[in-house]
Structure 1
Amino acid sequence: MKLNNIWLLAILLIGFTACESDDDSLSDPLIPETQTAPSPVYTSGTADFTTFVAVGNSLTAGFSDGTLFMRGQEASFPNILAQQFALAGGGNFTQPLINDNVGGLLLAGTQIAGPRLIFNPASQTPGPVSGTPTTDITNVISGPFNNMGVPGAKSSDLLETGYGNIANLVSETANPYFIRMASTPNASVLQDALAQNPTFFSLWIGNNDVLGYAASGGESNIDSPDYDPITDQATFDGAMNAIVASLATNTPNGIIANIPNVTDAPYFTTVPFAPLSPADPDFGPQIPTLNGIFGQLNQVFAFLESQGIPNATDRQIVFSQTAASAVVIKDESLMDLSAQIEAVLNASPTFPAFVQSFGLPAAAAPIVANLFGAVYGQARQANANDLLVLPSSSIIGTVNEAQADFLQASGLPEALANQFAVEGVSLPLADKWVVIPTELTEIQNATAAFNQTINNLATQYDLAFFDVNTFFGGVASNGFQAGSAFLTADYVTGGTFSLDGVHPSPRGYAVIANQMIGLINTKYGSNLPTVNPIDYTGLYIN
């Protein structure tokens, strides 16, 4: 069974156009025609913008739509800031530009990072841009670079020597983006930043110390390739103290930003917990059969609760024939009832007949009971407190081939094996696709603690401080008026976030730059102008 179109978004492609004013073609009656209005005089106040260096991760680098690409980097918030700084004494600002607007990376000719995403108005879906990456990380480019944003970097990574050494790539102690921009293979990001003797800096780091865990659905299996735990508090505090102390001691003027909550990004809020529509021709006709199957399991849950297992009936699975139903997920916080499910089914006098109804011999009942226990021991239907990550939209309703092969090897016919291997329907979604409440609590607690550290350091070193957490929370809750554009945190149509659901769009980065400019002006007495967000796209369609 394959379900199509279970993730339906009411997506309207909105064309954003910037209107140019023709006011400059009109003469001002108060100014003689032979004179021109004086140009504004911009000053840096007590700050010094001569050498601006931006330190951070993908958010500093200008990462958007799933990768780095030239146009995206040109719209990075540090590059926008540098253009405004130039009006008040700021110097040149260099970035380690990708070779093209396709994005992605190669390693000795082999692709290791894919191209950027674009939105297809015809299909109303995002997908990769046409083209092949041309940026090979073995081709090291010459710096120094004022934009020291390294995608994927955690706080402690900025201090690591050898983070740009290609020999360390296999052991995952090097970063492919830093490999191509490091001054030497054994330099650290912070060393390369300080070597430029910056007179002003920005620091936005720490997101990946939480985001990796959140984006993987809180994956807790250390053997999983998706395993990316939250950084422990001591490591984070030690790294942040060392980074800020080094930057602020050498450069007393700068701005530091904190970490936004994951619940404000469309990566975690777009896919509904109940996307299974009875109107879907691939799902609706299957509902009676599915409810018959889960009816057996639901009786087991009811019996187990009667025997003293608390809240066992909360795990009952029922699909509605009149409304959208929630997907089935694995909840690792639940008591594992695999053995109990198997035992109850094996003790049931009616279970062999149930097994026979699927064309299996009655003798297969113990095998099926074992499979039911293994698959549904920690299963339940999702609810509004669960966050399905954006990539889950592409796998819900599809057949998990590995599970289907396993079931066939266990003795089930191919058609039956496929029927019991449908992601989110007959097969619970794995941990990596869902952030459950206990995992979300871990993420939120860590974010709050890390942000307290950042706030304390901003106060200690008397730096401008951008509370991104509160700002993005406001965008998610109420939207944000950016010139003539109204921005929200909605996927595709909101204008704030790019198609990867985590990183801002160019328009989002412009708004971030404007917020920073306001804070810098207030802190250091400068009078820098902001930019017009309408001049930056909210969505790429080519």
Structure 2
Amino acid sequence: MQKIKYLALVLSIVLFTQCELDHDDFQASSADVDFSHFVALGDSYTAGYTDGALGRSGQENGFSYILAKQLEYVGSEGYVQPLVQSSSSIGSAGNSYYQLKAANSSLSPVPGIGDQAIFAERVYDASNPVQNLGVPGAKSFHLLATAVSAEPLMYYSQANPFFGRFASSTETSIIADAVAQNPTFISLWIGNNDVLTYALAGGEADAVTPAEQYAQYLSVIASTLFANGTKGVIATIPDIETIPYINYILSNGFLPLVIEDDQVPGGIRQLVEGEKVLLPASTLLQAGYGQSAEMPLPAEYVLDLEEIQNIKTATIAYNQTIATIASQYNLALVDLNAVMNKAHTQGYIIDGNVYNSTFVSGGVFSLDGIHATGRGSAIIANEFIKAINHTYNCSIPYATVNEYSAVVYP
């Protein structure tokens, strides 16, 4: 009986473990796909943003860089990144990387002061153009944008300093800089911020990009990149409820908190089950907010049921558009919505380590509760590789997840 139990345990580990191949025993094959000049387009995930900021260490542990390294086994001739020249980092709020620090007998993520000089760096080289065209903060239409306002005239490279660092010119667009390189293989993962910036503001700022507009933008992007037969890979948008920033505080149940709501008489009400309290609210909750009518939790820290439904409806529509585009242009399709859902509900066992979406300790998400750790990025990169291998009959080796960075404990 003990032997049977032991055999069952071994089999369960084999079945639920993501295997990583030994490159010495693996025969890589491109199956006639030209990977020589790989270009990646997207947002902060593609850029290598992690722990709340962009810095060199994150760029060297980002999923697109990990994917590019694996593509070298099948003919890629390198991957130029707009590497941060500073030893520090910079986030959209002016902070540097979050770090775990002791506070009130526990460890909490604390940001440092970011290096603003990073935004003044000019890392474009016409003889060696940037292939990682991931831009933190970019929405779908930003890939196409040159000017973002007419009066006063402002170009996207001026409006978004992350892009301005490596844009080929002030007047260019992300997609123009991609096409100018004549890429032979392209990865495209765009649309997260079309719902996420609204979600991160508790539905009190910005807006969800209408599904019809997203479909129009993605159609133009895809036809520009893939109409001439260029091969590539495209990924779906994860459900926001799979990320710790959205689900961490109420992950273990429901709290009858008092929240602001200007849509009801008196402007306050109790939290309804199913609504989400955002990660930054943790500090306010510790200070007593949400415990009484005198100190309600501000609305920007809460996603109500209507806001959640708006986001979910848009995400489903976006992913239908992405699947249609993948089919239309014979692109490899990565279902990252399913991947993140599995990380949230089941987790992964990879080379003896457990990975899930639990904040800080889960291994997938970094200390900002939104972006991936290096190991989370390697898991994502391997999903891209799996899709490419399946669609194009290639044999690209997987990255070794445990070789990449995780949350650093003091």
TM-score category by the smaller chain? Answer: 0.7 to 0.9
| C-alpha distance in 2 between matches for 1:510 and 1:51 | 21
Corresponding residue number in structure 2 for 1:73: 59
Q: How does 1:42-441 map to 2 (within 5 A)?
A: 42-104=28-90, 113-120=94-101, 123-129=106-112, 133=115, 135-143=117-125, 144-162=129-147, 174-219=159-204, 227-272=205-250, 326-332=256-262, 336-337=264-265, 377-398=266-287, 422=289, 424-425=291-292, 426-441=294-309
Q: CA offsets, 1:11-50, max 9 Å, x none?
A: xxxxxxxxxxxxx9xxxxxxxxxxxx98744221132110
Q: Secondary structure at the match of 1:496?
A: coil
The number of residue pairs the alignment matches comes to 382
**In the alignment, is the contact (CA less than 8 A) between 1:273 and 1:386 conserved in 2?**
no
Q: Once superposed, what is the RMSD of the aligned Cα atoms? A: 2.7
3-state DSSP of counterpart to 2:118:
coil
Matched, 1:499 2:367: yes
Matched to 1:434, the amino acid is V
Shift in Å, 1:215: 0.9
CA contact (8 A) 1:492 1:498 kept: yes
More strand by share: 2
State the partner residue of 1:508: 376
What percentage of aligned pairs have identical amino acids? Answer: 35
SS of residue matched to 2:354: strand
Distance 2:279 2:158 in 1: 27
- On the 8 A contact 1:271/1:393 being kept in 2, the answer is yes
Q: Secondary structure at the match of 1:116?
A: strand
Of 384-393 and 264-273, deviating more is 264-273
How many Å separate the matches in 1 of 2:381 and 2:247?
Answer: 25
Distance 1:88 1:273 in 2: 42
TM-score, length-scaled by structure 2: 0.86
Q: Which amino acid aligns with 1:178?
A: F
Matched with 1:349 is none
Aligned counterparts of 1:433 and 1:398: Cα–Cα separation in 2: 14
Aligned residues of 1:507 and 1:538 also touching (Cα < 8 A) = yes
Distance (whole Å) between structure 2 residues aligned to residue 43 and residue 448 of structure 1? 34
- CA-CA distance at 1:532 after TM superposition: 1.4
What's the secondary structure of 1:119's corresponding residue?
Answer: strand
CA distance in 2, matches of 1:386, 1:38: 50
Higher Cα radius of gyration: 1
Deviation per CA, 1:339-381, whole angstroms, max 9, x where unpaired?
A: xxxxxxxxxxxxxxxxxxxxxxxxxxxxxxxxxxxxxx24222
Q: CA deviation at 1:382?
A: 1.8
Q: Distance in 1 between matches of 2:394 and 2:386?
A: 9
Distance 1:61 1:170 in 2: 20
> What is the aligned counterpart of 1:447 among 304, 310, 315?
315
Contact 2:158–2:164 (CA under 8 A) maintained in structure 1:
no
Q: Match of 1:203, as an amino acid?
A: L
Contact kept? 1:71, 1:101, Cα under 8 Å: no
Could you tell me which runs of 5 or more consecutive residues in structure 2 were left unpaired when the two chains were aligned.
1-21
Check 1:88–1:187 CA distance in 2 against 1; reply closer, same or farther (3 A cut).
same
Q: Secondary structure at the match of 1:384?
A: coil
